[in-house]
Structure 1
Amino acid sequence: MTPFGEAVRGLRAERGITLKAMACDLQISAAYLSALEHGRKGRPSRALLIQVCEYFGIIWDDAEALERAARLSHPRVVVDTSGLGPRATELANRMARSMRHLSPATVEAMHRLLDAAERPRPGRRRAAAAPVAKPETAEAG
């Protein structure tokens, strides 16, 4: 499941809306909506994201949170380490090999490490970060 899929599923559950009913209302197939929720499809289009926000009446911070979830919901990512040191390349390869075997607690600990690294420190300007992960450009289907 992706962050976007988890969010949409939670919103549907809160409101008692079935996947089939939501898909019908958005004029998309239930199979596609299910694939989005389960991470079998990449992130939703901008137009669909806007439709989902309108469908649930989501605005402001909640809409930004859903948009962020959508941005972080590509189930297959490519990490470009060209130009980085060998340890960065090693880390990317180890992550790719180990991801399926990490415990939820380890995943959360890694999120905390990344969150701390991304926070600007007082008195220091944050340098523009090079893209670390990007979606694959060719999707099947």
Structure 2
Amino acid sequence: MSATVQIVLKPSVFAGSGKEGDFAWMIEQPQYAQALFVFNDNESQFLAYMDGISVGGGNAVIRPYQGAGARAAGVPTGPGYDALTTGNKAIIDRALARVRALIKSGRYTTLVYSADEADPSLLGHGIFDVGEDVRRYIVAELKTIASSAA
């Protein structure tokens, strides 16, 4: 019987460069060596995925880490995600399926996401105007992924 690993879901609030909350800094720290970082991606970059893994704005600065030996996974949050629709939910679910598969690989102990400072049950956002239902849905699904991994 193999041991199951408890996945810690870690909300992270950006509070400046070079410290906790800065995904570019955090991903380089040894305490996050077994962490999968979920960053807010734009839809076109997510759909292009491996065609060009380029640095993005905001927490998508870690987009290049989603290549081989993935340390990051993008979940689209825009543009145009001001409400959860069947169309954008399908794209979000596709991204979350990748997160789920990566977590099931057993290589991670922590799942880190950008959280809203006032309410960690909401995904943090900055570049796009993301609907509250979209932000709440993504975090709820990340909780499900983390809890079902154990």
Give yes or no for TM over 0.5: no
**Greater share of helix residues, 1 or 2?**
1
Instruction: Kindly name which structure, 1 or 2, has the bigger radius of gyration based on alpha carbons.
Output: 1
Q: What TM-score results when the alignment is normalised by the length of structure 2?
A: 0.28
Q: What TM-score results when the alignment is normalised by the length of structure 1?
A: 0.29
Q: Say which structure, 1 or 2, has more relative contact order (CA 8 Å, 6+ apart).
A: 2
**Greater share of strand residues, 1 or 2?**
2
